[in-house]
């Protein structure tokens, strides 16, 4: 499942200087994000490289600069539960324990800003606006997880439609979504099989709600109202 390269994760921090993430197009006006850019080191990960693993010490906070990252957990029965997808501008790796409860991998080649948690904590102690951002980030994370629960009690069509709308909300323009993740990633995120995801997408296309390109990673939303229902 994982490449053996780059699994040494954090110890590989390069000497690259932090660079502005503004060119990624992600909105980034928050104090926390700004601070991370000043304090962080830039890391690059090839496709499928592990960024951190479950049970490793959670000493760093991460911010996507380019590419996409997935966090996930492997269950006892071998299934994989994808917990979230992180696009440029998104912060991931936030934990409330000493160890990561999830693993993180680059979905596509990714540039990631890596910041020591201890440094951010110290900064939060000095700067109330940073502490406030931490609080808000935590709230968003909790909200995101709760929304996921609401998703998982719905049927396959609703899950896929919600997923498409969420992705459209986050990183697309003009109703066209460029999905960085595979069908398997989507299936593991939605708690469905890859076949069900495919069939549901086909059904939505038949119903004229979406269009799927030949490469299958580009999807055009034709009828948002139909998707929302």
Distance in angstroms (rounded) separating the CA atoms of residues 180 and 86: 10
- Token pair for 126: 């000095």
Which of 209, 213, 205, 211 shows the shortest CA–CA distance to 224?
Answer: 209
Task: Choose which of 29, 75, 214, 225 interacts with a copy of itself (CB under 8 A).
Answer: 75
Q: How far is the CB of 121 from a copy of itself (least distance, A)?
A: 11
Taking the least distance from each CB to a copy of itself, the nearer of 35 and 71 is: 71
- 145 is a site residue for a copy of itself (CB under 8 A): yes
Least CB distance from residue 213 to DNA, whole Å? 8
Of DNA, a copy of itself, none, which one does residue 27 interact with (CB within 5 to 8 Å by kind)?
none
Nearer to a copy of itself, 18 or 191 (CB): 191
The token duo for 33 is: 């994000």
User: C-alpha angle 149/112/181, rounded to 5°?
Assistant: 50
Q: Binding of a copy of itself at residue 12 (CB under 8 A)? A: no
By CB under 8 A, tell whether 150 contacts a copy of itself.
Answer: yes
Q: Does residue 61 contact residue 115 with C-beta atoms inside 8 Å?
A: yes
CB of residue 68 to DNA, shortest distance in Å = 13
| Of residues 20 and 206, the one with the C-beta less far from DNA | 206
Which residues contact a copy of itself by CB under 8 A?
A: 73, 75, 79, 81, 83, 95-97, 101, 135-136, 138-143, 145-146, 148-150, 152-153, 191
């Amino acid at each position: 499942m994982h490449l053996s390269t780059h699994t040494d994760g954090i110890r590989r921090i390069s000497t690259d200087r932090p660079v502005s993430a503004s060119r990624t197009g992600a909105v980034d006006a928050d104090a926390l994000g700004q601070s991370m850019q000043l304090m962080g080191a830039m890391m690059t990960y090839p496709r499928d490289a592990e960024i951190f693993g479950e049970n490793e010490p959670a000493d760093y906070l991460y911010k996507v600069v380019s590419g996409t990252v997935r966090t996930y957990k492997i269950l006892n029965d071998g299934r994989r539960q994808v917990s979230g997808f992180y696009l440029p501008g998104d912060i991931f790796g936030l934990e409330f324990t000493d160890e990561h409860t999830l693993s993180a991998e680059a979905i596509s080649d990714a540039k990631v800003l890596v910041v020591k948690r201890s440094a951010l904590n110290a900064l939060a102690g000095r700067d109330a606006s940073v502490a406030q951002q931490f609080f808000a980030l935590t709230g968003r994370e909790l909200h995101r997880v709760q929304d996921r629960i609401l998703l998982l009690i719905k049927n396959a069509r609703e899950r896929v439609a919600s997923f498409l709308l969420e992705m459209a909300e986050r990183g697309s323009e003009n109703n066209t979504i460029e999905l960085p993740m595979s069908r398997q990633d989507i299936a593991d995120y939605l708690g469905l099989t890859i076949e069900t995801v495919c069939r549901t997408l086909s059904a939505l296309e038949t119903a004229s709600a979406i269009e799927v390109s030949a490469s299958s990673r580009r999807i055009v939303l034709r009828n948002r109202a139909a998707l929302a229902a």
